[in-house]
Amino acid sequence: MNANVCRANALCEEFSDYVIYDNELDSILFNIPFQYFETIYVELGKLGYELVFKTQIKKTNSLTCTFIKE
């Protein structure tokens, strides 16, 4: 696991209790409160990650997102 991957995991874990990381595809899956999405989106972009999937859960006002390393 390189430094950018460790930073990305640490960032996601700050906002989510559960982060799933796939070593094979360098992808990250997590669920976060809606208000933190912009911060995570910008910071993961700086680390070379691209958003490939996002869905909103209205009942909990949260987002489930998947990012993949470019």
- Report strand pairing: 49-57 vs 19-22: unpaired
Give the DSSP H/E element, type plus range, for residue 38.
Answer: helix 37-46
| Gap between the Cα atoms of 2 and 54, Å rounded | 25
Extents of the domains making up the chain: 3-69
pLDDT digits (tens, 9 = 90+) for 10-68: 999 999 988 999 888 889 999 999 999 999 999 999 999 999 999 999 999 999 999 99
| pTM of the complete model | 0.89
Q: Which fold has domain 3-69?
A: Gyrase A; domain 2 (3.30.1360)
